[in-house]
Structure 1
């Protein structure tokens, strides 16, 4: 893994957009918008959904 590419990609990814999406979804499902709830959701996505989502996107794009 290239450290240069990793650093550039990490800088490009917008954590605010991720946080906003999480809070909007909590609100739409009438779940209290707290840091703890947002963290639980994000950790669940990272552990359970992101790997499959990335794999599917890469297969579809490339």
Structure 2
């Protein structure tokens, strides 16, 4: 089975069963592994850093 096949299966799961499927899938994810939304947030933050758009804590609290 490929990830694409698994994604396809998720697409056809009845909406009321999505939470159950999610809980089951999360059992197979390492506790310290980043979730997709966390990976996206990290990617966005890195891009903001590259563009000089982030401020240090010292700058914010000054």
Q: TM-score, normalised by structure 2?
A: 0.28
Kindly indicate which of the two structures has a greater share of residues assigned to helix: 1
Over alpha carbons, which structure has the higher Rg?
2
Highest RCO, 1 vs 2 (Cα 8 Å, sep ≥ 6): 1
